[in-house]
Amino acid sequence: MQPTAQIARHPIHPMLVPVPIACFIGALLTDITYYFSAEMMWADFSVWLLLVGFIVGVLAAIAGLVDFLSNRLIRAQTPAWPHLIGNLTVLVLAFFNTLIHTRDAWTSVVPTGLVLSVLTVLILPITGWLGWSLVYRHGVGVAKIGVRR
């Protein structure tokens, strides 16, 4: 089950996914730091992390959606639909979190921004495990190389 969205036979979706994960976890950490320090710099870091995570997340979602829609065998895998729905939920939460973080510093983080960051990061391990399952248990995006005997 080779993905459709590829560059030089390398799937695009798994190349992009680590960036939003790191950004959303980083945004949670900077939100927590801002909560305890009230140092404006941490709120600014959160905004940038959320924005970059959201933009790259949308690009990863487009690549994943191309793979998902172009191959019925991928759609037939048990983890595929929850993985898709979970990641879309993460992007929706991140979008609203980005909008919330554009407000004045304290109101951008406490409490709504912090809650949205926590919810986003709590969903990531679930969707990550589902994506791992698609690759390592169901062979999505894995090149089959001939075995010598």
pLDDT in tens, 105-117: 788 899 999 999 9
Is 37 within 8 Å of 14 (Cβ atoms)?
no
pLDDT band for 44, please (50, 70, 90 cuts).
very high
For the record, the structure tokens of 5 come out as: 């969205």
pLDDT band for 147, please (50, 70, 90 cuts).
low
Q: How far apart are the first and last CA of the chain?
A: 24
The pairs formed by 141-146 with CB atoms below 8 angstroms and a separation of 24 or more are: 141/1, 141/2, 141/3, 141/11, 141/13, 141/14, 141/67, 142/1, 143/2, 143/9
Q: Give the pLDDT confidence score for residue 4 in this predicted structure.
A: 81
80-99 average pLDDT score: 98
88-99 average pLDDT score: 98
